[in-house]
């Protein structure tokens, strides 16, 4: 199964390529309007795309710290855990379709 291409985010204002097996959490429970949340079908992994306000005082690596813990054996899973490549594909495929989502220009 191939990754989901051009999955609409934020009402179609953005799109991105999601990893294989991603479940849209908004189909399961309410999610804040500034978030898109996806979970893995088997592992405890999740992807959260969040629109935030710029905080100019946060710089460099302090802005993001990856969590590389996994206690599951990928060989025993019907959907293997997502990889750094899956995350990279999501981020690099993120496309803005509606700049008005940020208010009047």
Burial class (CB in 10 A: 0-12, 13-18, 19+), 59: exposed
User: Residues of 85-102 as b/e, b for ≥16 C-beta within 10 angstroms?
Assistant: ebeebbeebeeeeeeeee
Q: Look at residue 61 and tell me if it is in a domain.
A: no
Render pLDDT for 52-98 as a digit per residue (tens, 0 to 9): 776 677 776 555 544 444 444 545 556 678 888 888 888 888 888 88
Number of structural domains (the chain) is: 1
Domain hosting residue 39, numbered range: 1-53+77-96
* pTM over cut 0.85: no
Q: Look at residue 69 and tell me if it is in a domain.
A: no
């Amino acid at each position: 199964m191939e990754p989901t291409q051009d999955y609409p985010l934020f009402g179609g204002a953005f799109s991105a390529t999601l990893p294989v097996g991603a479940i849209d959490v908004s189909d399961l429970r309410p999610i804040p309007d500034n978030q898109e949340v996806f979970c893995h079908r088997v592992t405890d992994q999740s992807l959260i795309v969040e629109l935030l306000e710029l905080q100019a005082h946060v710089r460099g690596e302090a802005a993001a710290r990856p969590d590389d813990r996994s206690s599951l054996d990928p060989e025993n899973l019907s959907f293997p855990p997502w990889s750094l490549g899956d995350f990279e594909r999501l981020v690099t495929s993120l496309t803005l379709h509606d700049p008005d989502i940020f208010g009047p220009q």
